[in-house]
């Protein structure tokens, strides 16, 4: 089983929101990700989300993904369900890229 771990996370600096620290580890079985026989290099998903006044992150939508149809978009949205940011002065939409890397055995 290939375990997937969210790696480097980036938030658009223009929007002045704090980096997001998800607290989840995903496996191929937990989100029905269709794993290909070979390791996929450079798997990334870019989301657009809303930062609420209390710091909650909601309404994430996939803007793009490097390997569409393999379940990484859904996995990225699932990772953001419990994410929080530094509360902004007003609700904001922001872009966020999650890169997935295979877990090292």
Provide the residue range defining the domain that includes 46: 3-102
Give the count of domains, the chain. 1
Torsion sign (Cα): 62, 66, 69, 70: negative
What is the model's pLDDT at position 13? Answer: 30
Pairing of strands 3-11, 92-102: antiparallel
Q: What are phi and psi of 12, to 5 degrees?
A: -60, 120
Q: Are 33 and 75 in contact (CB under 8 A)?
A: yes
Q: Is the pLDDT of residue 9 over 60?
A: no
Q: Is the pLDDT of residue 77 over 50?
A: yes
Give the CATH number for residue 54: 3.30.2420
What is the model's pLDDT at position 2? Answer: 32
What is the model's pLDDT at position 41? Answer: 75
């Amino acid at each position: 089983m290939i375990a997937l771990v969210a790696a480097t996370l980036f938030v658009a600096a223009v929007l002045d929101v704090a980096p997001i620290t998800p607290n989840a580890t995903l496996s191929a079985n937990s989100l029905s990700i269709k794993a290909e026989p070979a390791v996929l290099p450079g798997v990334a998903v870019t989301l657009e989300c809303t930062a609420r006044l209390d710091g909650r992150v909601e309404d994430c939508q996939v803007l793009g993904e490097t390997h569409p149809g393999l379940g990484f978009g859904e996995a990225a949205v699932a990772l953001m369900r419990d994410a929080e940011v530094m509360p902004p002065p007003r609700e904001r939409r922001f872009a966020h890229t999650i890169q997935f890397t295979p877990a090292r055995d």
